[in-house]
Amino acid sequence: MDSQAPVIHHLAAGRPQDIQDQQGHAFRTGIRKQKADNMVLKKSGITGNDVADKKNHGGTDRAVCIYPLEHYGKWEEEFERKLDQAAFGENMTVAGMTEDMVYIGNTYQVGSSVIQVTQGRVPCLKIDRRTGCDGLMKRFIATGFTGFFCRVLQEGVIQADSRIELVKEDARRISVLYANNIYFHERGNVDAMKRILNVPPLAEQWRSKLEKRIQNLK
């Protein structure tokens, strides 16, 4: 684990709205968010922030979405396109918190709030439609550079210049990148899935899906 403290690059929040993709087709989504100087974190989510598809997005296990700043340059070079800030609908764009550095179950103090990492993000095609980068969702999955979600353990306020401090590192040391690789690419790896399931803070949706996969392999 890198000892250097992560740094907030950008905060964003927003409610669902109708937007158009590159082909002019309208769709409703909460992926386009606006810059925020501060955010109020509740256990139910971020004040002034919401999702359109409540079946597949949102909920207490996915109250806060974080995406590593480090990947922006990679995607801009690969797709030859300048990306907007918070291009992937994340609430916090952060330097120093890539998926290989962050363990599921880690808790962080951010401003007056405390958040806990619960799962990697499962991307959908709205990322392609929002950015105009055809195939980006598949590249997210291929690389595991998906970003990740957190639940709110202690409600509070985050400022754009708030510090991010690691409160507790999860002892099982299951990184988001490792979990993503198993979740997306090694669906028959029972031992690895059991390792992930052994992390109590794991998001309930991931827990349910991994348990069903193991059961179906018997």
In a domain, 2, yes or no: no
- Please tell me the pTM assigned to this model: 0.91
Structural domain count, the chain: 1
Name, in order, each residue with C-beta under 8 angstroms of 109's C-beta and a sequence gap of 6 or more: 163, 164, 165, 167
How confident is the model over 103-125, as pLDDT tens digits?
999 999 999 999 999 999 999 88
The residue behind tokens 């070079």 is 77
Q: How does DSSP classify residue 46?
A: E
In a domain, 193, yes or no: yes
Domain residues for the domain of 106 are 7-217
How confident is the model over 59-113, as pLDDT tens digits?
899 999 999 999 999 999 999 999 999 999 999 999 999 999 999 999 999 999 9
In a domain, 27, yes or no: yes
Question: For position 104, which CATH number holds?
Answer: 2.40.33.20
CA dihedral 161, 12, 144, 141 (to 10 degrees): -170
In a domain, 65, yes or no: yes
In a domain, 198, yes or no: yes
In a domain, 146, yes or no: yes
Q: Quick check: 156 and 112 in contact, CB under 8 A?
A: yes
Q: Quick check: 111 and 156 in contact, CB under 8 A?
A: yes
